A = this chain, B = another copy of it.
Amino acid sequence: MTDDATARAPRGRPLVVTAEEIEAVALRLWAERGFHEVSVADIAAEVGVTSRTIFRRYPTKADIVWGPLNGAFEILAAALERTSPDAPLIERARTALVGMIRDGEVDPTAHHRIRIVGRTPELQSSTSTPFQLWRESLYDFALAQPGVDRLRAHVFAWSVQSTALAGLIWWVDEDPETAPWQAVDDAFARLVD
């Protein structure tokens, strides 16, 4: 998306560690010991910086987990637009979401990240950045359709997001051998009852 031709050499002191390094260390430690058991200071020490630096890069500890997934709402919005306008809203959301997860458009570490989220209830907060952004995308999409009022769009966004989350949590602690998109697809199959 960024124009490489206009991408100039950055001015000022360069970052001493990349976001990838920080997140790789964090994900590894959290996978080993759990989210609460590893503090931001622990990660910072392992990477070779101060916790102040970490908090300057990430607004909260939880945002280290999300990382590139925070940008996924744009992919979701685009995927929603590509779905068939004739299908019911819920099926369009299902197609877009499942396709997005299945095709791994987001990030190679996404599965790893979702596993930690699934194991850590406090990360499943509905106010976490990506979930909020997903709901916004879903809300805007639904509201643009004819005959959809704001409450309906609101309910649509919430139920789609929570169904996806339910599927992912299910996948993590009940069926981790299969693909995550399959669990989400199965969850949507149960929703349309």
Contacts and interface: CB of A to CB of B under 8 A. Distances in A.
Interface in A149-174: 149-152, 154-159, 161-163, 165-167, 169-170, 174
Interface in A126-152: 126-127, 132, 149-152
In the assembly, how many copies of this chain are there?
A: 2
- What are the 5 A-B residue pairs with the smallest beta carbon separation, nearest first? A162-B162, A125-B125, A158-B166, A152-B190, A121-B127
Most chain B CB within a 10 A radius of its CB, from A90, A127, A152, A158: A158
Interface residues of A, number: 34
Given A90-B193, A166-B158, A186 B124 contact: no
Main secondary structure, interface of A, reads helix
8 contacts: A121-B127, A122-B125, A151-B174, A151-B190, A154-B187, A155-B166, A155-B167, A158-B162
